[in-house]
Amino acid sequence: MKKTGFALLLLLPVFAGFAQKPANRPVLHHPAADFTLKTPAGEDLRLSSLQGQYVLVDFWASWCMPCRASIPHLKQVYDSYHKDGLEFVSVSIDDKAANWKKAVEQEQMPWKQVLDTYTGDNSAADVSGGYGIRMIPYTLLLDKEGKVIAINPEPPALDKQLKKVFGH
């Protein structure tokens, strides 16, 4: 019994690493963690530069069929609310910029696009991994102050939230 307890005590730090929460996990009514990523043109886009507008942050990838299937709904939402002050930022977790750029062109998404980076030793992209995102598509809705007001809402819930915010 003592040997088993000692062995578990030795393994505790290993398992504890898996249980740690990502440092930037979104929390309702708290500011979203800021990030700066590159656009298809190679320019920096900083999330906090969009404060003063409502922002939908969409995490996706070119190879993700559910992500691609969600784009028509996102286009409808964009068309309905962009003129009222809703900005979109799609964050691709593609590991190949060429695949990302090709998909952006194919899908004709009229909103801001950025590519997540991979600088760590693990397979998670930097921003999406830091946010604790394990599945895509994944969306966040931010208020004008950059605070999270919806975490990964289903399309009907997103529509309802936006109707509440914008009054139509």
Instruction: Read off the pLDDT of residues 87-146 as tens digits, 9 standing for 90 and up.
Output: 999 999 999 999 999 999 999 999 999 999 988 766 778 999 999 999 999 999 999 999
Cis previous bond, 137, omega within 30? yes
Question: What's the CA gap between 164 and 158, in Å, rounded?
Answer: 10
- Specify the pLDDT at position 18: 36
138: its two tokens: 């994944």
Bigger pLDDT: 10 or 138? 138
In this prediction, what percent of the chain has a pLDDT beyond 70? 86
Q: Write down the mean pLDDT value for the chain.
A: 88
pLDDT tops 50 at residue 19: no
Question: 40 burial class (0-12, 13-18, 19+ CB within 10 angstroms)?
Answer: middle
pLDDT band at 22 (very low <50, low <70, confident <90, very high): low
| Greatest mean pLDDT range, 4-18, 27-41, 120-134 | 27-41
pLDDT tops 50 at residue 20: no
Neighbours of 41 (CB within 10 A): 7
Q: Return phi, psi of residue 40, to 5°.
A: -60, -25
**Span 39-50, average pLDDT:** 97
Buried b (16+ CB within 10 A) or exposed e, 49-71: ebbeebbbbbbbbbbbeebbebb
Entry pTM: 0.84
Residue 1 CA: distances (Å) to CA of 4, 9, 13, 160:
5, 12, 20, 56
pLDDT band at 24 (very low <50, low <70, confident <90, very high): confident
- Specify the pLDDT at position 124: 78
Gap between the terminal Cα atoms of the chain: 65
